[in-house]
Structure 1
């Protein structure tokens, strides 16, 4: 069985290791683990860590340089801008990688005279660099949107006019617009502004775990009704306040599938085991017992089948639902 992961931060690990002089990081460190976890395709994000908030553009440029150097060296990466670019990982020994953005604060400092010109300049340049996915904020409020857990949440709530402008540009270029990390006001602003489906690449059900990063029933229904998709998050904090386990992760899959249908459920694992030794300015203490790393995904699939998911439903959740959404959304 193949797996499509809608959210990975492995680019952060690549950048830190490259800065320390390592090479071929994807091939040496991540490819064997992804293959062990049946991962065929993945959206990998560029995330400006809290430690670099004072100069997000410089950090984004540094991340991009280190990561792309590594990907260009790789024998096992196939960078894609649409599903037409994808290859079978088993036949080619390559992982399909889509480039994403987790937080757009760096765009504010693109070098033009005002926010509008920065957006108008940045967007086509990022598109030309093969980006096709965007989350507007990560635990901060920026010039576009307000995020959950924002350290500066008093600035505003919801999408700004610049956030709406970015949404229009993203729609025009058929980007994947991702609501994970947006607070409730920004979520609904994004939903009502976008003329295309939105996704939540790595969010769970708030009814089972009352964390603001998770989705309310109304948000889950809105994403499904609009033709979007929800990626289940394996990070312990979004699974259960007291007992985060692989079985509780599956509870979220069952809950969302029963609420809107399994065809709107996918995986967005958000594994962070490889970030432990890096000074990112945030802590990731805690684990989801039985689902700490990507190598445990095959065991997860067995458990999900035992919980009652049919072969067809499981194939959909693990791969087909994400692939079908990207096939409809991305136009090259």
Structure 2
């Protein structure tokens, strides 16, 4: 069964390994594991780690260069800007990869004379580099939006005027707007300002696990009503604070499917098993028991069958729901 993972941080691992002199990181390290997990397509994000927040633009450009050098020499990567560019041949031995952004504080330093021009220029130049997805904030508040997990109290909750401009620019360029990591005020602002559906690529149900990164029933309903999609997150802290197990992860799938319909549910695993070795400026550990990494996805699918999900529902959540959303909303 094909898997579409709507959120991965494997670019961070590639950048650190390339910086340490390694080559062909995607092909050597990640490709065999993705194949074992059945992953066909994936949204991978460029993310500036907390330890580099004092100079985010330099770090972003460094990561981007290191990662793109690795991908450009890969035998197994197919970078896509729409479903039309996806490899549909199961024997191609390629992973369909979409480029995204997780936190965009670096755009503030893009180099133009005004903030508005920074946004216009950055979106245009990133679009030319095949980026088609954005999360505005990561555990922070910035010049666009207020996010969850910020160390400092925001000076303003919600989208700023520049955040609204960025939403409009993303709509204009047919980018995917991702509300994961936004606080509730920014979420609702984005929901109302965007004229296109929004997603939460890696968020779970707040009703089952009280965490600010998870979504309320009203937020889940709003995403679905707008034609968006919710990607289920395998990070333990968002699954259950006491007993983060494979079955508890499936509880989130069942809850959201019952609430809004299984056609609005997908996977956005957010696996972090490969990040623990690096000094990123924050602790990164917390795999769900039985779903610690990408190779455990087949076990998840087997357990979903045992829990009563139909073949059609599992195929939708695993791949077709995300594919349909990308097909309808991402354009060249």
Which bin holds the TM-score, normalised by the shorter protein?
over 0.9
Task: Give 1:116's aligned residue.
Answer: 116
Q: Does 1:107 align with 2:81?
A: no
For the residues of structure 1 that align with 2:191 and 2:108, how far apart are their CA atoms? 22
Offset of residue 157 of structure 1: 0.6
Q: Does 1:278 align with 2:278?
A: yes
Task: Give 2:85's aligned residue.
Answer: 85
Offset of residue 286 of structure 1: 2.8
| Poorly superposed stretches of 4+, deviation over 3 Å | none
Matches within 5 A, 1:37-76: 37-76=37-76
Q: List alignment gaps of at least 5 residues for structure 1.
A: none
Q: Does 1:259 align with 2:287?
A: no
Task: Give 1:247's aligned residue.
Answer: 247
Task: Give 2:130's aligned residue.
Answer: 130
Task: Give 2:329's aligned residue.
Answer: 329
Contact 1:88–1:94 at 8 Å: present in 2 too? no
For the residues of structure 1 that align with 2:325 and 2:281, how far apart are their CA atoms? 34
Task: Give 2:155's aligned residue.
Answer: 155
TM-score computed with the length of structure 2 as normaliser? 0.99
SS of alignment partner, residue 127 of structure 1: helix
Offset of residue 154 of structure 1: 3.0
Task: Give 2:206's aligned residue.
Answer: 206
TM-score computed with the length of structure 1 as normaliser? 0.99
Contact 1:146–1:153 at 8 Å: present in 2 too? no
Task: Give 1:33's aligned residue.
Answer: 33
For the residues of structure 2 that align with 1:154 and 1:222, how far apart are their CA atoms? 25
For the residues of structure 2 that align with 1:8 and 1:219, how far apart are their CA atoms? 23
Offset of residue 91 of structure 1: 1.2
Offset of residue 89 of structure 1: 6.0
Contact 2:49–2:281 at 8 Å: present in 1 too? yes
Offset of residue 152 of structure 1: 2.1
Q: List alignment gaps of at least 5 residues for structure 2.
A: none
SS of alignment partner, residue 234 of structure 1: coil
Matched length = 332
